[in-house]
Each structure stands twice: as structure tokens, then as C-alpha cells.
Amino acid sequence: ACNYEVVVIGAGISGIAAAKSLKDSGCNVTVLEGRDRKGGRLWTSTVGTTKIDMGASWIHGIGKGADGLKKWNNKFNPIYQIARDNNIATVSTWEDEDNAEEAFFWWQGGKTSYDISSFTENFEQFFKDRQGSASQTTTLEQLFANYPMTDNQVNRNMKSFAFGYLFGSDYAADPDQISAKYVDTESYFKGAEHIFPDGYVQIPEVLSTGTNIVYERKVVGIDYSGNKVSISTQSGATYECDKVIVTVPLGVLKNNIITFTPALPSGKQSSINSLGAGLMDKLALEFSSVFWDANMDWLDYISDGDSKWVVTLNINKYLQKPILLMFNIGKDALSFASMTDQQVLDSAMATLRIMYPNAPDYVNYKRSNWGQDEFAYQSYTYIKAGATDEDPGNIASNIDKKVYFAGEHTQFDFLGTVHGAYLSGLDAARAISQAWKFKAFASGMISFLMLLTLLF
Ligand SMILES: Cc1cc2nc3c(=O)[nH]c(=O)nc-3n(C[C@H](O)[C@H](O)[C@H](O)COP(=O)(O)OP(=O)(O)OC[C@H]3O[C@@H](n4cnc5c(N)ncnc54)[C@H](O)[C@@H]3O)c2cc1C
């Protein structure tokens, strides 16, 4: 069996997946987690008395099968498989996102009379026709530089809405950042999109039973210059191990929160610099009753001059609670990051009252602020203009079979998702178990050869 001491940094889904797999192989595993809770960007919180996910909400496609990846033929999304195996309830929000029910509102007040679907269909078609001409450094905005439209306020606002609505939520970023070349080139699980009525955190909870997680251990240094890896934490506690798996988010790596000794190889560092740490924030508002279009999934808002509060999810449709979940993306999310809760709430309520002039006051709220979160500094990763689909794999590659990496940002196929993060954790664990299997085989061979020498 495995005789390594392994430290996993981070009790998000990737770290917990890696720890479980290695523990099951007999390794001695300790997980060091900076926060006082597990799950990382799976954060089931509450608004009033209702559980609400302020990090990931969806299993993006329960399966079976994933586009372009044969190995998933006939298989469920691994997160859905875990939910099924453990009787964790999930609820479908829609079979296909294109079929979600939507109402469109605009800055002039109430529902828009504008033909939104013609605009967004033309916009998408324009993108498809030109994506082939995009180079590695072409931004989505540059690809649309010659988009044919009369320059007036309505069209300008429609264009900025279309960017947020069609691409922003997928990549948690703005059109002047997203690489046009890589839009829609990652793989998607087929099937309906599901959420967890009792919270996504149930997944890391069932996977981490019996795992040794030490909380409030913010890692600040990893020294891998010797035979053993030495890990230092902000609290002063240090840990020694044979192998470490670093699962901290890309945003944490970009901010150099952890000092690596020696410094990370330049190729890996440049991939860390190149990828985009996308930002998407949520505001959950609970009301005393539903005043909005109860049959809609999404309430979409075309604002004047930016894309603030571009999409709002009607939670009532799935959980039968009078709750709206409002979203901001990229620079709009960033513009709220340093504001007080009251300022954010004022902005949200002002927008809701443009959409529904008689909207009453909220009774409870919960806000995420992932950009200011010292254990994330981001929401999810995207291919930024200048980066390539090889950058996530460059980050994943191990250093000297001592320092391994996992996390949603370390695999391209399902970049930015929970299932991608989960699978990356299993990959890192597999790479370590290959190392001990090889070591066991090599020492077996040496003993065998010594025995032969003694006999003859
Ligand atoms: C608002 C939002 C919405 C999302 N929506 C979806 C969705 O609907 N569907 C989907 O599939 N994905 C979604 N995602 C993405 C998904 O949540 C992530 O891809 C996934 O959870 C990442 O898992 P991870 O293990 O890679 O990272 P994390 O969950 O971030 O885990 C890393 C862990 O490391 C810890 N850590 C960080 N720094 C340190 C340190 N210095 N020392 C010790 N510990 C540290 C963190 O606290 C964290 O627990 C969303 C994310 C956000 C933020």
C-alpha cells in the first residue's frame, strides 16, 4: 500500500476528491484548509431560513455523455453520479438552457418591446461566422469590432447586453478579456441542468467522511528544495510531507499568496499569468411574496451603459420560496466588490423597480463577494485572450514528483466547473499513486535481483 505522507492544500471539491482517493489507497493524507468550512467555491449559505448556494449552483448537464469526449459515453456527470449514489436530491431547472423561460426588461422601464431574440440570434451567427478568423490574442470585443448596426443608444445597450447574456455567464468575464478563439471549445455534459434544494455542500460532505481536514490553516509557503516538502502556514504551524497537492484557486496563485521555494518553473508561472480568473457574484433577495413573473426561469435586464444585474434567476420556480438570485459579471461584479452591502442592495432594488415598479422591499438578503475573498480572488477560470487550451494542463503538471496541482483551472475539458475540479483532483491522486506503484515495483525488482545474487 501507499506509504506516502501527502498534504492536500484546500478542502474544495478537487482537494476532497484527491484526498479521498489517496486515503482509499492507504496514503496518510492531511488536508489543510484556510477557511473554517469545507467546499471552497461550493458555499451553501442561507437567506432567511432557506439554503442557498452562493458559489456553484448547477450540475452543468447530468449526462449521460459529454460532447466530443468518448470516455463519457453512456456515463452520468460524475457529480450527478455521486448525488445518485448517496440519495442527495437534485431538481432540474431546464432540459436545455436554450429552452429556459425568460422575460426581458430594459432601462426604459418594464418589459422591452424590442425584438431581443432577433438581435441575439444575429449576434451569435456573426460570432459563428467569424470565430475561425480569431487568432490566439483576439478578444471577443475585437471579433465584434465591425458588427453591423446603426450606432444609437438602443443598439449600443443591446450589444453590451448580448455580450453579458450570451458569453458573460459562461466565462464570468467581459468581451475585452475573453479569447474569441476558445469560446465554446470546452466540453459540455449533455442532459438537463440540476440544482441542489438542500445545497451543493452535500457533495463535498459525503466525499470527505473520515478525511483529516485541518481548518483555518492558511498556507503561505511551500519549500520543495529538499527530499521532503515543507509547508508553512500563517498561524505558524508547519507540516512536512512527501507529496503535496496544491488546489488553491487560480486567483490565489496569481496573487502570490503562497511563496514557492524554489520559485515555480517559468512555463507554469506564465500559464498562471495568462489564464483569466473570472468573476461572477450573486445577490440573493428574499421577499414576503412573489411579485414577479412566476412562470419564468430568468428575468433578463438590458441596462443603460453597462451590464449590471444582467440576469436574475427565479428561485421560486424550483424551491417554492419567494427568492430572486441576481448576478453580476466581470467589471460590473468588480465595481460592486468594494461597495457596502447597502450600496449593492440599493443598486439591485433600483433595478428591480425599473423592471417591476411596485416591487416591495426585500426581507432578507445574502451577498457573495468572491473578488475580495482571500481564499478565491475569483469565481471561475476562463481562457483569456493570449492564453491557450494548454495552459490548464501546464499548471497541472507536477514538479519533481513532489508538488502536484489540481483545481478547476488545471484541466481544459471542463474548465471552470465543479465536475472539472472533481476530475482534476482524481487525476492528481492517480499521478501520485502511479509514483508509489512504480516505487514499489522498483524496490521489488531490487530485492529480487539481490536474492538472485545471493543464490548464484
Ligand atoms: C458564484 C459562482 C458560481 C458558480 N457556478 C457554477 C455552477 O453553477 N456549476 C459549476 O459546475 N461550477 C460553478 N462554479 C465554479 C465551481 O464552483 C468551481 O469550479 C469549483 O467549485 C472549484 O473547485 P476547486 O476545488 O478547484 O476550488 P475551491 O472550491 O476554491 O477549493 C480550493 C480551496 O482552497 C482553499 N484555499 C485557498 N487558499 C488557501 C490557502 N492559502 N491555504 C489553505 N487553503 C486555501 C479555499 O478556501 C478552498 O476551500 C461557480 C463558482 C462561483 C464562485
Residue 310 burial (CB count, 10 A): 24
- The reported pLDDT for the residue numbered 430 is 97
Would you say 72 and 63 are in contact if contact means Cβ atoms under 8 Å apart?
yes
Would you say 389 and 413 are in contact if contact means Cβ atoms under 8 Å apart?
no
Distance of alpha carbon 446 from alpha carbon 437, whole angstroms = 14
User: From the CB of 79, is ligand 1 less than 6 Å away?
Assistant: no
Q: Is 117 exposed, middle or buried (0-12, 13-18, 19+ CB in 10 A)?
A: exposed
Would you say 104 and 302 are in contact if contact means Cβ atoms under 8 Å apart?
yes
User: From the CB of 188, is ligand 1 less than 6 Å away?
Assistant: no
Cell numbers 433595478 label which residue? 351
Of ligand 1's atoms, which has the minimum distance to the CA of residue 281? Answer: 1
Would you say 224 and 405 are in contact if contact means Cβ atoms under 8 Å apart?
no
- The reported pLDDT for the residue numbered 121 is 96
- The reported pLDDT for the residue numbered 444 is 81
Of ligand 1's atoms, which has the minimum distance to the CA of residue 282? Answer: 1
Of ligand 1's atoms, which has the minimum distance to the CA of residue 54? Answer: 1
User: From the CB of 282, is ligand 1 less than 6 Å away?
Assistant: yes
Listed by start position, the domains of the chain span 5-43+53-93+192-275+381-439
Distance (Å) from CA 306 to ligand 1 centroid: 27
- The reported pLDDT for the residue numbered 257 is 98
Output the nine-digit C-alpha cell for 49: 431560513
- The reported pLDDT for the residue numbered 44 is 98
User: From the CB of 423, is ligand 1 less than 6 Å away?
Assistant: no
User: From the CB of 410, is ligand 1 less than 6 Å away?
Assistant: no
Distance of alpha carbon 182 from alpha carbon 325, whole angstroms = 28
User: From the CB of 35, is ligand 1 less than 6 Å away?
Assistant: yes
Residue 70 burial (CB count, 10 A): 7
Q: Which residues of 279-306 are buried (b: 16+ CB within 10 A; e: fewer)?
A: bbbbbbbbbeeeebbeebbbbbbbbeee
User: From the CB of 9, is ligand 1 less than 6 Å away?
Assistant: yes
Mutation choice for ligand 1 from 59, 279, 375, CB with most ligand atoms inside 8 A: 375
The CATH superfamily holding the domain 5-43+53-93+192-275+381-439 is: FAD/NAD(P)-binding domain (3.50.50.60)
pTM above 0.90, yes or no: yes
- The reported pLDDT for the residue numbered 175 is 98
Of ligand 1's atoms, which has the minimum distance to the CA of residue 11? Answer: 49
User: From the CB of 247, is ligand 1 less than 6 Å away?
Assistant: yes
Please give the annotated binding residues for FAD, written as ranges.
14, 219
User: What is each CA distance from 164 to 167, 307, 346, in whole angstroms?
Assistant: 6, 6, 22
Please give the annotated binding residues for substrate, written as ranges.
327
Closest C-alpha among 329, 274, 45 to residue 163: 329
Distance of alpha carbon 260 from alpha carbon 221, whole angstroms = 6
- The reported pLDDT for the residue numbered 447 is 82
Q: Could you list the pLDDT tens digit for every one of the 456 residues in the chain?
A: 788 999 999 999 999 999 999 999 999 999 999 999 999 999 999 999 999 999 999 999 999 999 999 999 999 999 999 999 999 999 999 998 888 999 999 999 999 999 999 999 999 999 999 999 999 999 999 999 999 999 999 999 999 999 999 999 999 999 999 999 999 999 999 999 999 999 999 999 999 999 999 999 999 999 999 999 999 999 999 999 999 999 999 999 999 999 999 999 999 999 999 999 999 999 999 999 999 999 999 999 999 988 999 999 999 999 999 999 999 999 999 999 999 999 999 999 999 999 999 999 999 999 999 999 999 999 999 999 999 999 999 999 999 999 999 999 999 999 999 999 999 999 999 999 987 777 777 778 888 888 888 887
Nearest-CA residue for ligand 1 atom 4 is 56
Output the nine-digit C-alpha cell for 320: 417554492
